[in-house]
Structures are given as structure tokens and as C-alpha cells.
Amino acid sequence: MATLRLGDTAPDFTQDSSIGLIKFHEWAGDSWVILFSHPADFTPVCTTELGRTAALSGEFAKRGVKPIAISVDPVDKHQQWIPDINETQHTTVNFPILADADRKVSELYDLIHPKASATATVRSVFFIDPKKTIRATLTYPASTGRNFDELLRVVDSLQLTDSHKVATPADWKDGDDVIIVPSLQDADEIARRFPKGYKTVKPYLRVTPQPNK
């Protein structure tokens, strides 16, 4: 099984889901996508994660991100489980959950790690840009729920660094200072791109206020 790496094209697929048949690339359109796997329906951590995803729908929307979940459970189990998520997490699930009972998508995205579980998907996350390129990945064991503030932070960093010649430092959050990429050396271009100025900590470490998005 080939390993998906950063810069690879996210594999296309057609699969059933809680909202009907999904043709992935067509469904994604020109949006960013966060595709995330959960081990199983009717499990406690997954219930909180999908509830958190629904609660953050406005945050995803303003970033142009479509979330989509996946597990190897069939559609009827998803439909039975969604009311539990809505009730216990005080939200409304408003994104698709792929029903990957035949493991077609799980195998494409290498979501089943036999040494962790031979039957359930691990908690993987794929950040996919509008060109269908995989830009970042995260993987957690079944016992560890994801930090959804971190997922949003990664999207913010990717989108910012796509539009400006900057990188984001450790623990960066939207609005914090950023780093001018070392490859940018032209003084006129630096002055034009960063009118608020910058601080040279080391020749390779130049800190500047975050540019406007």
C-alpha cells in the first residue's frame, strides 16, 4: 500500500455517506477539505469529536473548509448514531460521514493500522487544498481525541503562508507575529510586503507582525 505524502494528490473516490453518494473531488469543489477518520460509531471519544466538528461549522465555513468524516461503519449505523451526537454534544451534525464498510477509502488513505487495530480506522486527519493536494496530516491513536483548535490553527497557517512569504513559529495563533522566509532577501520586496517593519533576531530569523489575509 502506497503511503500518501505531503504534496501528493488526495485520491478521488466515490463512496456512500450519511448524506448520500459522495464523489469526493466533485464534492470538494474549490474548497479546502479536512478529511478525518474515526474508529467506530457509538464510541465515546468519536461522539465528542464529531460534535465538536459540528459546533465549529461557522469557523470551518469562514475559512472555506469542508469537513468530512469516515469510518468503516455502514450508513444505517451513522444515521442511528447522529441523533446521539446531536443530543449529547448540543449541536447538529451538518457534514457528511462516509460509510466505508468495504474499506475502499480506508485503504486508499491508509487509515487502518493493523498493529493498532485490524478492524477500526485510526484517528487520521488530511488537510487538502482546493487543488486537491495533501498539505498536512496528523494521526492519533483511538484513545486520544483530537484538538480541533489545532486543526483550525493548521488551516490558518497554511492559508496565510500560501498568500505571503512567511512561516509560522512554534505555538503560533492567528494574529501573532510571523517569520519572514529566509529565501526572501530583496530589501525592496521586503519593505513592500512588510510595511510594518520587522525585527532581525538572527540573519535567518526575522520576525514581523502578521500580514493582512
Q: Residue 183: in which H helix or E strand, if any?
A: none
Comparing 114 with 202, which gets the higher pLDDT? 202
pLDDT band at 43 (very low <50, low <70, confident <90, very high): very high
Q: Which is the catalytic residue, given 46, 142, 160, 179?
A: 46
Predicted model pTM: 0.93
* Helix (H) or strand (E) segment spanning residue 55: helix 44-55
pLDDT at 3: 83
Q: 118 pLDDT exceeds 60?
A: no
pLDDT (mean) for 71-98: 96
What pLDDT is stored for residue 86 in this prediction? 98
The SS3 assignment for 128 reads: strand
Residue found by looking up cell 443530543 in the block? 87
pLDDT in tens, 172-213: 999 999 999 999 999 999 999 999 999 999 999 999 999 987
Q: Comparing C-alpha atoms, which of 171, 187, 179 is closest to residue 210?
A: 179
- Determine contact, residues 127/10, Cβ cutoff 8 Å: no
pLDDT at 2 over 90: no
8-146 and 164-208 share one CATH topology? Answer: no
CATH topology of domain 8-146: Glutaredoxin (3.40.30)
Classify residue 175 as left (phi > 0), alpha (psi -120 to 50) or beta: left
- Count the helix, strand and coil residues of the chain and give each as a percent rounded to the nearest 5: 30, 25, 45
Whose cell is 455517506? That residue is: 17
Chain center to CA of 113: 20
Which pLDDT tens digit goes with each residue over 120-132?
A: 677 899 999 999 9
| pLDDT at site 141 | 87
State phi, psi for 108 to the nearest 5 degrees.
-60, -40
204 pairs with which residues across the strands?
none
| Sequence spans of domains, the chain | 8-146, 164-208
Summarize pLDDT for 133-170 with one digit per residue, the tens.
999 999 998 889 999 999 999 999 999 999 999 999 99
- Give per-residue pLDDT as tens, 46-55: 999 999 999 9
Does 81 participate in catalysis according to the annotation? no
Q: CATH homologous superfamily for 164-208? A: Antioxidant, Horf6; Chain A, domain2 (3.30.1020.10)
